[in-house]
Chain A
């Protein structure tokens, strides 16, 4: 049984981590593509149209990868988490099925039209198809986060005698106080990822001295989108989310922030430190007093419960992993703001395109927004443990009763091998597209 849950969790974590590389780019990138297309409609400069089509090509590869790695997610609810599906399907099935019907269809139908239909439709309709792709991809995020929000903070349900959750109030699923902050935070983080990708490709073209005209356009656009989104990720959306965790999952909040002991007169914010689970304290701690209380409650001296206030079984089951995920996310987020502020300053002083060190830095920074996004997702998911539905359904009660650990291990290994191949092909393909550059687009 222990093995079984371990392999099931590992498999889900692995497949969803790999999957999440793709939608976080497509959601943000669709916004930037719509922006390019809109600029083209305004100023009729072919450059913007080519930019939109170039990024749509990268979008398409990512979308394909997102689809093929997304179908396993839906399947795994049934194959590996059958008990969970049986008990909660009546509720999260609503949001998941809506995702399929209202967003996935929109995105995939109009993506083909955007890519192949420019000559058939004229520019305004072509813009519209691009906009619908954007709408579809953001709606996708909305429904997925509605599903996740229900697992984090269940609302609108009723539990029957046989343990099944059934829906009692449909509209509560979407007015869940957890949903809107989580959605906005997630979408802004997606825009951060795609801004860095766009800026990084721009920096690459400038450094390589090919496609310089496009390089400048991409870098400028990436920096502007990147600064706005990385600020919005931190404030207000990140702040708003943290307050939600403090309110609805106080044990998670204490573990995330690394507060082992409750301080009577206000909690400090931990910048650096390693959780020591044996002695129940942080090693090598650097912290600023009272800030956490202020950020959470706008009161310097408000008490925040530490982990000592909760029973062992109420605390997340992997506190160090949760703590590090959260701190990596916050740390990287801070770095992104710094880099983008500097880049914008240089852009304003007209020195950005010639300041090589920063160009190189921006070019190689591109994996880090992905890491920040994924650790952010981990923070949410590890924080919810040991529950699948917070406070109501334990993770260990959600696995498939008939599937043995050997089967799960076998399929896990299969997924690892297959996804490594996919990842390699993906890099080759995107590398080739970037290398060819936007001018070679023939549609």
Chain B
């Protein structure tokens, strides 16, 4: 039952990063590449139409995590207190930036909300990457100091950073050089994804230029990926064990690799949705590979005193999980149906649509 729920939640989270991921990406594209008002407007529109129905996947993932693995939810949410509250504020700024920019036709008003949308998208992408970095690096569970736990075994509190900025100390912060690398990977990946979305959904004049940008970013991504894999070994020496023990898990890194290699041919790709699918593979492969590398652990402990959090020692009762499984499957089918209906009905380029807001 735990494994079923783990898969469901991983799926919902992956969908969130794929769907809302392009929203973040459009924000970054918007920030750096859109210069003309017409481009800005149409790019904001391509995200504005869908962001709230994309964000509900985050709410759903949170709710399910809360229900299925309450100990994990409590531990991680209070442990990463400050970064999570910052994420909340960024989510709010991004949403109001999108919703409010076209409400008044004053240049300053638009500039403020464009910046709000762009900067918070960028920071959110960075933070989500950093979060993933923290989860694969592990934390000092129980807040162990000189061999004594300050809290119950599964509680901890992480400062935003520590003075050494290093992941190798006893007390790493949320931000260190390792998590920053993962954060950058997330930013680059989501920028590519967002640029593909803009190309797919708009007739913006910068579309052609974006293909060149994607190509360059893809090179950067390849370098960053290689770099992260080599330092990952230093941060967590066991990071490859799972893949050696269970070679079928290699399917996940392979998905990532397919996306990465495919995107080198971006300039030749004729169909816009193929490119979008490739960056989807990047996100899907990246998340699943990271999760698979530590499975069944969901938050590694870096001290010897307290055991890592796994899907088994943080879950609720079997009865609760089984009941929820029944409605969970029904719910999930409905979600997929809604998403398909919505995206089909509102398909096509957004510029062609009679969209008044």
When the two chains form their complex, are residues A403 and B338 in contact, meaning their CB atoms are under 8 A apart?
no
Interface size for B (C-beta < 8 A) is: 67
Among all A-B residue pairs, the 9 with the closest Cβ atoms: A78-B77, A89-B70, A93-B67, A90-B316, A97-B63, A101-B331, A82-B78, A86-B74, A400-B78
Contact B103 A403 (CB under 8 A): no
Instruction: Considering the complex, give the chain A residue whose CB is closest to the CB of B143.
Output: A402
A414 within 8 A of B: yes
Provide the residues of chain B in CB contact with A68, threshold 8 Å: 91-92, 95-96
B100 near A79 with CB under 8 A, answer no
Chain B positions within 8 Å of A414 at CB level:
85, 89
Known: A79-B84, A167-B319, A167-B323. Contact between A94 and B67, CB under 8 A? yes
Kindly report which residue of chain B lies nearest to residue A433, judged by CB atoms. Answer: B103
The reply to whether B60 and A101 contact each other, CB–CB distance below 8 Å, is yes
Q: Does A78 lie within 8 Å of B66, measured CB to CB? A: yes
B151 touches A93 (CB 8 A): no
Are B151 and A401 in touch, CB under 8 angstroms?
Answer: yes
Q: Which residues of A72-97 have CB atoms within 8 Å of chain B's CB atoms?
A: 72, 74-75, 77-80, 82-83, 85-94, 96-97
Indicate which residue in B69, B317, B355 contacts A167 across the interface (CB closer than 8 Å).
B317
The complex places the Cα of A86 from the Cα of B95 at a distance, in Å, of 30
> B342 — nearest CB in chain A belongs to which residue?
A109
Is A402 touching B151 in the complex (CB atoms < 8 A)? yes
Q: A97-B324, A166-B316, A402-B156 are in contact. Are A67 and B52 (CB under 8 A)?
A: yes
Knowing A93-B66, A105-B335 are in contact, say whether A443-B356 is a contact too (CB < 8 A): yes
- Contact status B342-A113, CB under 8 Å: yes
Is the C-beta of B264 less than 8 angstroms from some C-beta in chain A?
A: no
Q: Are A89 and B73 in contact (CB under 8 A)?
A: yes
Q: Which residues on A sit within 8 Å (CB–CB) of B354? A: 119, 443
The listed residue with most B CB atoms (<10 A of its CB), out of A69, A98, A100, is: A100
Which residues of B (155-209) have their CB < 8 Å from a CB of A? 155-157
List of A residues within 8 angstroms of B76 by Cβ? 78
A93 touches B316 (CB 8 A): yes
A418 sits at the interface (CB 8 A) = yes
Chain A residues near B78 (CB-CB < 8 A): 78-80, 82, 400-403
Is B332 among interface residues, defined by CB-CB distance under 8 A?
yes
Neighbour of B66 across the interface among A61, A89, A429, CB < 8 A: A89
Cα(A429)–Cα(B102), bound, Å: 11
Task: Pick the residue among A78, A87, A100 that contacts B59 (CB under 8 A).
Answer: A100
Instruction: Check B346–A117 contact: CB distance below 8 A.
Output: yes
Cβ–Cβ contact A75 & B319, under 8 A: no
User: A442 to B63, Cβ gap below 8 A?
Assistant: no
Q: A402-B156, A403-B78, A418-B89 given as contacts; is B67 within 8 A of A89 (CB)?
A: yes
Q: Interface residues of A, CB < 8 Å — how many? A: 71
Contacts of A158 in B (CB 8 A): 317
Question: Taking the complex as formed, is A311 at the interface, i.e. its CB lies under 8 A from any CB of chain B?
Answer: no
Q: Quick check: A67 and B63 within 8 Å, CB to CB?
A: no
A98 partner, pick from B91, B155, B327, beta carbons under 8 A: B327
Residue B75 is within 8 A (CB to CB) of chain A in the complex: yes
Contact B100–A429 (Cβ < 8 Å): yes
What residues of B have a CB within 8 angstroms of the CB of A70 in the complex? Answer: 59
A-B contacts besides A101-B63, A108-B53, A402-B157, 9 pairs, CB < 8 Å = A68-B96, A71-B59, A80-B78, A85-B77, A93-B73, A96-B63, A98-B327, A108-B52, A403-B81
Interface residue? A102 (CB, 8 A): yes
A residues near B (Cβ < 8 Å) are 61, 63-64, 67-72, 74-75, 77-80, 82-83, 85-94, 96-102, 104-106, 108-113, 116-117, 119-121, 158, 160, 164, 166-168, 170, 400-404, 407, 411, 414, 418, 422, 425, 429, 432, 441-443
B55, CB-defined interface residue at 8 Å: yes
CB atoms of B334 and A101 under 8 A apart: yes
- Report whether A401 and B67 are in contact in the complex, using a CB–CB cutoff of 8 Å: no
A100-B342 contact in complex given A79-B78, A94-B324, A425-B100, C-beta closer than 8 Å: no
Is B345 a contact partner of A86 (Cβ separation < 8 A)? no
Contact B323 A170 (CB under 8 A): yes
Contact present for B317 and A166 (CB under 8 Å): yes
Within 8 Å CB of A110, what residues of B? 338, 342
Across the interface, which residues of A come within 8 angstroms of B73, CB to CB? 77-78, 85-86, 89, 93
**Interfacial residues of chain B within 313-357, with CB under 8 A of chain A in the complex:** 316-317, 319-320, 323-324, 327-328, 331-332, 334-335, 338-339, 341-342, 345-346, 353-356
Q: State the Cβ distance, A160 to closest chain B Cβ, in Å.
A: 8
Would you give the 0/1 interface string for B88-117, flagging 1 where the beta carbon is closer than 8 Å to chain A? 110110011001100110000000000000
CA distance A69 to B316 in the complex (A): 28
Q: Which B residues lie within 8 Å of A425 (CB)? A: 96, 100
On whether A112 and B155 interact (CB within 8 A), knowing A101-B328, A120-B345, A170-B323, the answer reads no
- B317:A82 contact, CB within 8 angstroms: no
B286 an interface residue at 8 Å Cβ cutoff? no
Q: Which residues of A contact B59 (CB under 8 A)?
A: 70-71, 74, 100, 104
Query: Does B58 lie at the interface of the complex (its beta carbon under 8 Å from any beta carbon of A)?
Result: yes
Among B88, B143, B319, B345, point to the contact of A117 (Cβ < 8 A).
B345
Most chain A CB neighbours (cut-off 10 Å) among B67, B152, B156, B324: B67
How near does chain B come to A141, taking the closest CB pair, in angstroms? 16
